[in-house]
Structures are given as structure tokens and as C-alpha cells.
Amino acid sequence: MTGRLTGKFFLILIFSCSHILTFALATEPATQPTAISFASVKTYSMVMSFTPTVADGYLILKSDKNITDVPVDGTTYQKGQGLSTCKVMYVGGNNIHSVREVLENTTYNFRVFAYNGTGNQINYLQVNPLTGSTTTPFSNAGSYYASVDSGSGTFLADLHSLINSHTMVAYTAYKSNIVPAIFERDTTGGKVVINCEYSNETTVYTAPFDFTAQAYNREHTLCKSWMQTAAQLGANNLINYPEGADYYNLLLTRSTPNQVRSNNPLGIVINVASTYGETKYGTDNNGNSVFEPKNNRKGDAARAMFYEMICYDGLEGGWGLNELLSEAGDQDQNVLKLWNQQDPPDKFERTKNEYINSLQHNRNPFIDHPGWATCINFDSIVKTNLCGAVSGIEDEVLNVGVNVYPNPASEMLNVELLAAEFQQAEISVFDIYGREIHHSSFLIQHSAINTSSFETGNYLLKISMTGKSAYRKFLIVR
């Protein structure tokens, strides 16, 4: 039986055949701590502090909702323990805390209770706890995109120049940089928990995080083997170069679904061959082998691919899906654009964008401006007519092979159309401003264009036949 006496003198009586055990609560603290304050409040972290009182320690509760929980005397709480309206953020004697597990544009409430004693003698001052709240800022690009106009003919060149200029952060530092700051959440037993971004599988472990011990990978959403530089450097060596180490292209995934994804494109699985958590692997409606991640990361994966292709376009060749290596040609950009619409950026993705920006000093424009994805034909990285351009995806896609060589070219460009049933085709060439600078008829399956008058730079080739069009980029060098 239990009883409460003056001063919260607490008895626990345990009856046995021969004796009675009695536990007295420690002396209750006389006052609560005071003057809670918040500093360095960012979208992904903050520092919370308060003026201490005379006590053995403090129980700190945190929630993005109103907190009503009051600790029970004689009960020891653990960091990471969930209560009815909040979570235990800290138990101990410190009064300055770096707070993680926060998201942008969210109000967080805190309650701090002083206590004395330990174990079943712990005694909380339960009345008038120290309380406070603060709101994290919106994810805000500020004037970052001031030089970029989606309606301009130089939109892609301007966007590429803006985001390509950034600080490379070591690929190997991912586990110490982003995992603790963004992915880890405290749970009981002195452990932390993370979730696979592909499958949503939960993993509990004792920090620090280790890829091998936790069987996780840094998944390259735009596969390393697809990258143009893979042919020169080898896919495994790309981790030492910006295009392979870029944090915007990396998702935190369990090894198993990552291995199943392999070099396959992302897509909508119609015929399921296997599943893992919330992922699916199989074939799409075109018979291509594709991998489908969980629903609330589909848009994240699409925007990661969009970023990577714009950021590194022109590095060792074009970075459009039709110009990349391996299985990239089977990646359906329309699926990615659909996912971009169905799964728009949420607070987690916007928070991660801000955190990576603090490391790399650039942003993913498709998180800040997801609508910009419609402005770009990612098969060949050219501007569409959906944002004021002259050229782009305005016809049905001509699904035949097109050889353009040599590329880069100088005096002459050869165009070969690999169509089983050839009909007269039209060729148009556009400069980076969307101006048509050449037009001719394609009377046979092979044609040559005199490029001696073309200035050095990138151009778009449009081949049209039977109301459908194909697009290729080429480079003129002197």
C-alpha cells in the first residue's frame, strides 16, 4: 500500500513472510529553475538554456503540442520516453542543451521540473514548472534565386551556375554530419532510432551510427553508374568527387532495398517481383525493371535526381537521361514529374534542404521551387515551352534511336535516325536562348549539318517526324 504524508514523505510497503521494506522520498526542491531562453534557433536545431536552481537535476519535456504531463514521484523517466502529450528530452543536471528533432516552421513547447534524489526516491517539484516555447523559422531561400528567371532563355544556364558553385563535403562525413542532425531520434535505453528513406523500416541502435553495423547505405538516387564521369573515374571512385558525394543526391537507406534498386530506374511497379517494407521491385507498364520507394519519399527522390542533373550538366558531357550511362535511358521523367506533384516537399525535406545548405552553401531549387521541374526536359536538359521557352516538349515523343556525332562537333554534325519505317523528317537547331538558327528537311535516314558558322557552346537539336519529336543536345568547340 502507499501513503502521502506532509512534505511528500512517501512510503512503499512490501509485505513478505518476515519483514517490511520502507522507502522515503528525497527532499523536494524548494524552487523551479527560471529564465528559460532560446538561441541559434534554426530550422533544424536550437540551443535551450535556463537559470538553474538548487536541485539534483531536471526533467525536461518537449512537444509540438500543449504539454499537460506532470512527473510522478518515485518514477524514473528516460530520455526519449514518450508520455501522453510529449517526449522526455533530457534527465540530468545540465541547464544548457542543444535541441535536435525539430522541423522548420514549427512551435515547440518545453516544461522543466526540478527534482532531488534518484530511483524510487526521486522527488519532483510538481507545481509551477518552468515553461517556454519557440518557433523554428520557415525554410527560406531569401535572395538566393535573385539571378534566376524561369521565363528567361538562359534559365538553365543560370540555374546550373548558381547551384554548381558550392562546397564539397566529404562523402565519408555523411554519417557524422547529417545522420545525427537530421535522421536520429532519441528513444529509451540510451538508444536512438532512424528510418530507411526507401522502405520506412525502423532501426534502433546505440550511437554513434555506423553504416556497416546498422546495415545502411548512402543511396545515390541518381545512380553513380549513370553519371558521365563514371566512364572515366569508375563508379566506385566518384565518392571522392562532387557529383558522387553531393548530399542532395544521397538518401539514407537500408542495404537490402538499396541493393534491390541497384542501377534500375525508379518507376511505378505493375508486375511485382519482390517487396521490402514499403518498397516494390518489378516491371512497369513498358516491361522495364523498376524500383518503387515508399510514397512519402517518391517526390524527394525525384527532386534529388532533378538537382543532380542540373547541377552537373555539362560535366564530361550532357546529364540528360538520354545522355547518361547504364540504365538511365529507361528512367521515365514523366514518372518523376508525377511524383514531384503527388508528393510535394514536406517539412522534413525542407528542413534537410536547409541543413545541407549550411554545409554545402547551395540549395536544391526543386525543393524551393518544385514547379520548375515542368520547365525542363530532363531527357536532354533543355527548357520546355511551359515556362516561356521557344523549344522543348511540345509534341509527342518520337521513340526511335537518334545518333548525333561527333559530339562535341566543329565543322560538321551528322544526324542518323534509326527508324524502321522512315518518313520525311524535319531538323531544327536552337541556341541556348531558344532561337531557331537552323532548319532543314530530313529526306533520308542520314543527314549532315554544316556547323562552321555556329558559335562555341551548347545547342539543342529537334528531330520531328509524323507529329512526334526527339531532342538531343550537342556542343560546338573550336
Asked if 293 and 437 sit in the same domain, the reply is no
Instruction: Give me the chain's average pLDDT, please.
Output: 90
Under-70 pLDDT residues of the chain: 1-23, 388-400, 419-422, 432-434, 444
**Structure confidence at residue 328 (pLDDT):** 96
Domain boundary among 387, 421, 448: 387
Residues 168 and 204 in one domain: yes
Question: Both 312 and 245 in a single domain?
Answer: yes
Q: Assess if residue 404 is contained within a domain.
A: yes
pLDDT at 16 (0 to 100): 44
Q: Which of these three, 323, 352, 387, is where a domain ends?
A: 387
Other Cβ atoms less than 10 A from the Cβ of 400: the count is: 16
State residue 436's pLDDT score. 79
The torsion angles phi and psi of 235, rounded to 5 degrees, stand at -60, -35
pTM: 0.79
Q: What is the pLDDT of residue 14?
A: 44
Q: What is the pLDDT of residue 391?
A: 37
Pair 192, 236 in one domain? yes
Asked if residue 37 belongs to a domain, the reply is yes
pLDDT, one tens digit per residue, over 345-402 is 999 999 999 999 999 999 999 999 998 998 999 999 998 877 743 333 344 556 667 7
Is residue 419 situated within a structural domain?
yes
Q: Is residue 287 a part of any domain in this protein?
A: yes
Query: 359 with 304, same domain?
Result: yes
Q: What is the CATH number of the domain that holds 116?
A: 2.60.40.10
Which structural domain, as residue segments, surrounds residue 106?
Answer: 25-135
Classify residue 19: in a domain, yes or no.
Answer: no
Looking at the structure, do residues 360 and 407 belong to the same domain, yes or no?
no
C-alpha grid cell, residue 461? 537539336
The verdict on 164 and 289 lying in the same domain is: yes
Q: Clarify whether residues 55 and 105 are in a common domain.
A: yes
pLDDT score, position 473: 78
Number of domains in the chain: 3
| 7 lies in some domain | no
In this structure, what C-alpha cell is assigned to residue 291? Answer: 524500383
Return the CATH number at 413: 2.60.40.3080
Residues 115 and 163 in one domain: no
Q: Between β-strands 396-397 and 468-476, what pairing exists: parallel, antiparallel or unpaired? A: parallel
In a domain, 170, yes or no: yes
**Based on the domain organization, do 36 and 100 belong to the same domain?**
yes
Residue 89 pLDDT: 98
Asked, for residue 416, whether it belongs to a domain, the answer is yes
Q: Are residues 319 and 191 in the same domain?
A: yes
Provide the 10 A C-beta neighbour count for residue 66: 9
Interacting residues of 262 by C-beta distance below 8 A, sequence separation 6+: 291
Domain end, chosen from 82, 104, 135, is at 135
The verdict on 413 and 460 lying in the same domain is yes
What three-state secondary structure class fits 438?
strand
